[in-house]
């Protein structure tokens, strides 16, 4: 591993000057400071020290990366979350600096550059997953961040998340109370940790009701309207004693695909095939029929995440440091039984 002497030698300065730059003390010209930081970067010398030094020069900016959506999809949760973060940050005299991150495997480089340039005081991370390289990097360098979502259970870091397991339990319980027993699930790929939590809620509710889960009733696919439409068509083609009477989807987009597949098959959504979504996007109340969906407390997620992050930037310890919020089932006509 590189030492402070290696950095000094590479930058052509004394070790004291390197210390001044890393700790933001003493009097150092901007040219010398940049030369030292470049040497630190090239040698990979203790980036956590860089983070602490740059943090002393507060930017009052919170970094947030977003992944562009395909043109044929929508993500109203992203819009709500950014809005709630911006409002919460402004109350603390901070602002949110958003930046696109379309290449997941190269995300760490973007975060490293933003830390070393001092553009942000901390990050809020969306779309977290197991073995998330961003989380691992920020933990290693000791830079403040709060995640919207969880990761490896043995990684200790601050996060705010929505209880997808509990939410899907609510959805399945609602359908069971309506008399449904053959309930299918439009799930996400195994690589999605959020999807896994939601699927576990569906499975647990079915097991608790002593109902067998036909393997054909659980299909993993991307969060895509057309895939959900085609999968629902396949379910509706099953023999009557195996055909699902209800579908729970891990997103509203997928639920809309299921609804339209049922309608195109000549069925009434609700009486003939009940459908439940997840997110409660604004469009769900305007569909025909309106979609029953799980509403995420996005405004509270944004408020909690920003408040926790600012506490970390100030050197405080958030309490609690890990927050799991419950979604609420909004019941509409897509699970209505009456055919009149």
* pLDDT single digits (tens) 130-172: 999 999 999 988 899 999 999 999 999 999 999 999 999 999 9
pLDDT at 50: 46
- Among 10-14, 161-165, 306-310, the range scoring the smallest mean pLDDT is 10-14
Give the DSSP per-residue string, 167-179.
HHHHHHHHHHHTT
Q: How far apart are CA 278 and CA 185, in angstroms?
A: 12
Number of domains comprising the chain:
3
pLDDT at 141: 86
Would you say residue 53 lies in a domain? no
Q: Residue 240 to residues 153, 182, 236, 237: CA-CA distances in angstroms?
A: 42, 11, 9, 8
Would you say residue 54 lies in a domain? no
Co-location of 199 and 285 in the same domain: yes
Q: How far apart are CA 274 and CA 254, in angstroms?
A: 14
Q: Is 58 helix (H, G, I), strand (E, B) or coil?
A: coil
Co-location of 144 and 254 in the same domain: no
Which structural domain, as residue segments, surrounds residue 134? 61-162+300-325
* pLDDT single digits (tens) 99-127: 877 665 567 888 888 887 788 999 999 98
Co-location of 129 and 16 in the same domain: no
Co-location of 21 and 104 in the same domain: no
* pLDDT single digits (tens) 44-102: 875 444 444 444 557 889 999 877 777 766 677 788 899 999 999 999 889 999 887 76
Would you say residue 222 lies in a domain? yes
Query: Residue 105's domain is classified under what CATH number?
Result: 3.40.50.2300
Give the DSSP per-residue string, 269-290.
BTTTBEEEEEE--GGGGGSSSP
Across-strand partners of 336?
none
Would you say residue 12 lies in a domain? yes
Co-location of 182 and 269 in the same domain: yes
Co-location of 190 and 310 in the same domain: no
Contact present, 337 and 271 (Cβ < 8 Å):
yes
Query: Residue 21's domain is classified under what CATH number?
Result: 1.10.260.40
């Amino acid at each position: 591993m590189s030492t402070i002497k290696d950095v000094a030698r590479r930058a052509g300065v004394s070790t004291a000057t390197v210390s001044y730059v890393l700790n933001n003390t003493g009097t150092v010209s901007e040219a010398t400071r940049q030369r030292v930081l470049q040497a630190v970067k090239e040698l990979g010398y203790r980036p956590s020290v860089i983070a602490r030094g740059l943090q002393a020069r507060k930017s009052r900016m919170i970094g947030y990366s977003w992944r562009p959506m395909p043109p044929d999809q929508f993500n109203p949760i992203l819009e709500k979350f950014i809005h709630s973060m911006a409002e919460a940050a402004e109350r603390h005299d901070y602002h949110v600096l958003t930046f696109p991150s379309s290449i997941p495997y190269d995300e760490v480089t973007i975060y490293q550059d933003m830390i070393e340039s001092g553009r942000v005081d901390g990050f809020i991370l969306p779309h977290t997953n197991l073995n998330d390289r961003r989380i691992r990097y920020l933990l290693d360098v000791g830079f403040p961040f709060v995640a919207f979502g969880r990761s490896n259970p043995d990684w200790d870091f601050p996060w705010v998340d929505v209880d997808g397991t509990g939410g899907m339990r609510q959805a399945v319980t609602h359908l069971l109370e309506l008399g449904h027993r053959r309930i299918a699930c439009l799930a996400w790929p195994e690589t999605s940790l959020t999807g896994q939590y939601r699927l576990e809620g569906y499975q647990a509710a079915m097991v608790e009701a002593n109902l067998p889960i036909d393997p054909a009733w659980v299909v993993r696919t991307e969060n895509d309207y057309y895939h959900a439409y085609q999968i629902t068509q396949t379910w509706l083609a099953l023999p009557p004693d195996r055909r699902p009477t209800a579908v729970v989807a891990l997103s509203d987009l997928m639920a809309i695909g299921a609804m339209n597949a049922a309608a195109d098959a000549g069925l009434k959504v609700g009486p003939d095939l009940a459908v439940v979504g997840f997110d409660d996007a604004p469009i769900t109340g305007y569909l025909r029929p309106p979609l029953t969906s799980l509403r995420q407390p996005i405004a509270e997620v944004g408020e909690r995440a920003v408040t926790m992050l600012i506490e970390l930037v100030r050197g405080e310890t958030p309490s609690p440091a890990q927050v799991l919020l419950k979604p609420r089932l909004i019941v509409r006509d897509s699970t209505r039984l009456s055919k009149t």
